[in-house]
């Protein structure tokens, strides 16, 4: 008996470029296998698909080598964080506070 195929999408985005690929994978395919089968690395040669964090519809998949894809899912390849989001928010708040204090001393 033949295995069923599933229709899925694989997405990856950089700041100025994004790619969404539609493909068919065999039932029982893992999230990582789907990404490797997508051919996304041909579009983004620096992308390390063996190590990249992966998710489905905006939610990180903790074990992409075990989690099976389902019909119609969009698998997303995430970029590594360049900066810690908490630290970025702290820096932004400090700059806003400094600007507010500066404008108060002018008035």
- Is residue 105 in a domain? no
CB 40 within 8 A of CB 31: no
Residues 6+ apart with CB under 8 A from 11: 18, 19, 20, 21, 74, 75, 76, 77
Residue 38 sits in a domain whose CATH number is 3.10.20.90
Q: For residue 10, list its beta bridge partners.
A: 21, 75
pLDDT tens-place string over residues 10-46: 999 988 899 999 999 999 999 999 999 999 999 999 9
CB 24 within 8 A of CB 52: no
Across the chain, which distance is largest between two alpha carbons, in Å?
Answer: 80
- Is residue 90 in a domain? no
H/E element, 18? strand 18-26
- Is residue 100 in a domain? no
Residue range(s) defining the domain that contains residue 45: 5-80
Count of structural domains within the chain: 1
- Is residue 94 in a domain? no
Give percent of the chain above pLDDT 90: 66
């Amino acid at each position: 008996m033949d295995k069923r195929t599933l229709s899925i999408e694989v997405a990856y985005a950089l700041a100025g470029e994004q790619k969404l690929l539609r493909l068919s994978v065999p039932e029982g395919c893992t999230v990582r296998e789907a990404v490797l089968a997508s051919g996304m690395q041909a579009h983004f040669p620096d992308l390390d698909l063996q190590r990249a964090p992966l998710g489905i519809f905006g939610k990180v998949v903790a074990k992409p080598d075990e989690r099976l894809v389902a019909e119609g899912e969009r698998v997303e390849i995430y970029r590594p964080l360049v900066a810690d989001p908490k630290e970025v928010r702290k820096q932004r708040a400090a700059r806003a506070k400094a600007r507010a204090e500066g404008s108060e001393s002018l008035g």
